[in-house]
A and B are shown apart, each in its own frame.
Chain A
């Protein structure tokens, strides 16, 4: 039953991913972290149960990889002000004390794993540098609101 009508189309897999998973995540930063989390840390392969079930593992991985690259590029190349607003909203949405999240992010730099594998070094450096600056700005904003 499950394998009877499996559409073998990347476009359909992308739409499914957008409509079912990504549409529920309001923030671009959240979408980036979500997509990065579907990638195995050791092998770099993307995996998504529902998508693999509906299409195929290979198509699901391709759809996830493409979406990850797109979301990353959009965010990495957006103006710093936009990144700061996104990061601040994301930090507030995590469900922990903002100052705690900022401190951990500054020390452990977990956002490094959000960079797609194929990203060129300059774009990667630009994004990581911008997140560092954005964190410093969000920290000062949070301090000012206390």
Chain B
């Protein structure tokens, strides 16, 4: 029983964090639809601005193998420095996008009379899992660079897609319309990179 305490404490802490996050003042979603913040809503619901080939290239090992074979120590350092910065900014942007979506959802839910506790719990679980996975990836990237992280990143991408799907499913119809265009995660047919 004693071994379970740390996990319970962490779980409780995360729950408090999520509640605090959701309680932060957010403008009314329906009001914002007609204002400039409506653009932010559309941006949050729109497709992620990062294409799959880009993420595959950033976290894949092909370029690193080429640099290891071809480049000097200076080139290898330059490569790792450039890619680490980019990978960390991708992770930051992805996490921010997920938080924006959750805020949007919480604002909509406050006005909704049909609250589904199970869906809400699943949403919070997905959000937390995504954030924790991103944190884990960030730590590994920071320690040893982004190469060979593709599998873990795809796992995070899958979580984010599931999170996005649940959110758009439970959002009010007028907000969700036009938001089902999350196509950028699909592999591009033109991409020369393999999985």
Contact = CB atoms under 8 A, between A and B. Distances in A.
A100 interface: no
Interface residues of A, number: 23
Given A79-B62, A80-B63, A80-B67, A136 B57 contact: no
A99 interface: no
Given A79-B57, A79-B62, A132-B82, A122 B190 contact: no
B77 to A, nearest CB: 10
A137 B73 CA distance: 11
Nearest to A123: B54
A140 B193 contact: no
Contacts of B78: 132-133, 136
A122 B193 contact: no
A78 B78 CA distance: 19
A120 B75 contact: no
Contacts of A130: 82
B93 A122 contact: yes
B75 A79 contact: no
B86 A137 contact: no
Most buried by B among A80, A82, A121, A132: A80
A137 B66 CA distance: 10
Contact of B190 (A74, A82, A126): A74
Interface in A95-146: 120-123, 125-126, 129-130, 132-133, 136-137, 140-141
Given A79-B57, A129-B82, A136 B75 contact: yes
B133 to A, nearest CB: 19
Interface stretch (B45-53, B117-125, B173-181): B45-53
A126 B57 contact: yes
B63 to A, nearest CB: 4
Contact of A129 (B50, B70, B86, B90): B86
A84 B191 CA distance: 17
Shortest beta-carbon contacts, A-B, top 5: A129-B82, A80-B63, A120-B49, A77-B53, A81-B66
Interface of B: 49-51, 53-54, 57-58, 62-63, 66-67, 70-72, 74-75, 78-79, 82-83, 85-86, 89-90, 93, 188, 190-193
6 contacts: A77-B54, A77-B188, A79-B192, A122-B90, A129-B85, A140-B72
